[in-house]
């Protein structure tokens, strides 16, 4: 006999409801913030966050630990970094 309604998913020692999403916890690493899992009718699906390629030689991971960005990308200009005006 089959149960009525959508089924939950088990990941590790935890159960998740249908359509629930979470960041998996994988020992010994802990919570994997760059991976998102979700439950669909009793099946667990997981996907790593997709990142656009960085267009510089040495990208850094500052605001988003999952995706590297070029230094200065999306940052406001710093005070005192402008070239002096010449007349």
| pLDDT tens per residue, range 33-63 | 899 999 999 999 999 988 888 788 777 766 6
Note whether 16 and 9 are within 8 A (CB).
yes
Structure tokens at 60: 């850094």
Q: Which residues make beta-bridge pairs with 14?
A: 11
Strand order in the sheet with 35-40: 21-22, 35-40, 43-48
Q: When comparing pLDDT for 57 and 76, which is higher?
A: 57
Tell me: pLDDT of 82 over 50: no
Contacting residues for 45 by C-beta, under 8 A, at least 6 apart:
37, 38, 39
Is pTM beyond 0.75? Reply is no
Report the 10 Å Cβ neighbour count for 39: 22
User: What is the pLDDT at residue 85?
Assistant: 41
Q: When comparing pLDDT for 56 and 73, which is higher?
A: 56
Q: Residue 5 — left, alpha, or beta (φ > 0 → left; ψ -120 to 50 → alpha)? A: left
């Amino acid at each position: 006999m089959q149960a009525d309604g959508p089924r939950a998913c088990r990941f590790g020692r935890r159960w998740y409801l249908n359509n629930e999403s979470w960041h998996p916890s994988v020992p010994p690493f802990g919570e994997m913030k760059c991976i998102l899992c979700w439950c669909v009718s009793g099946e667990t699906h997981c996907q790593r966050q997709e990142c656009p390629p960085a267009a510089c030689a040495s990208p850094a991971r500052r605001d988003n630990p999952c995706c590297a960005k070029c230094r200065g990308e999306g940052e406001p200009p710093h005070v005192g970094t402008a070239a002096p005006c010449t007349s």
